[in-house]
Amino acid sequence: MFIRLAGCNLQCPHCDTDYTSARGMHGPKHVLDLVESFTKKVKYNGIKLVVITGGEPLRQNIVPAVNMLLDNNYHVQIETNGTLFLPGLPVGNEYFSIVCSPKTPSLNPILTKYIEYYKYILDADHIDPTDGLPTFSLGLKSHDRVARPPENGYDPEGFVYVQPRDDKEILENARNLKAAIDSCMKFGYTLSLQTQKIIGLE
């Protein structure tokens, strides 16, 4: 289940997410009620994973909602651009994880200690051949390339994910997908696909 929050501190030019329209203010109990309602509706009995994304979820206080979901036996995953840190996140909880999708050359130094996975958005024209990761992401250019995972102590397989950028154009998307596949094959990353788009849910 995805909870998409409104607003972002980066405003990437090629962002494919509508996080500004139809926004509303809701409390943690409302979030839990929606998640519980959906869980019952689909009679879902497997691992109950809730992904909180954005926009940028760490720009608002999501700690009460995260804790309420954890208290009700949900696994919670935050997907962040990595520039912010929110005190009070339950980083020691085994059912809580942070996925970072870097768009900037540097990441928040506190957050980096708790990142479990990295996910990179890749387009065919901006790839560093030395590691198969983007030089910049979603059109957010800078003088330095997008932040990388730590140099030591990680296995790229199962730790780094590569997702082709959605340019909303068939030929460009095919190029981006091929580039992402090539990067995964050469460097051992895991391919990540936006399944909701492939099956027509978005």
pLDDT at 168 over 90: no
What pLDDT is stored for residue 199 in this prediction?
63
Q: Out of 103-107, 163-167, 193-197, which region has the weakest mean confidence (pLDDT)? A: 193-197
DSSP string computed for 68-81 = HHHHTT-EEEEEE-
Structural domains of the chain in order of their starting residue, each with its CATH number? 2-198 (3.20.20.70)
pLDDT tens sequence across 113-146: 999 999 999 999 999 999 999 998 766 677 788 9
- For residues 189 and 161, the answer to whether their CB atoms sit within 8 Å is yes
* pTM, full prediction: 0.83
Q: Under 8 Å CB-to-CB from 83, ≥6 apart: which residues?
A: 9, 10, 56, 103, 104, 107, 108
In tens, the pLDDT along 13-70 reads: 566 666 556 667 777 777 777 777 777 776 666 668 899 988 899 998 999 999 999 9
Query: Binning pLDDT at 50, 70 and 90, where does residue 93 land?
Result: very high
Cβ count near 121 (within 10 Å): 24
Q: What is the pLDDT of residue 102?
A: 92
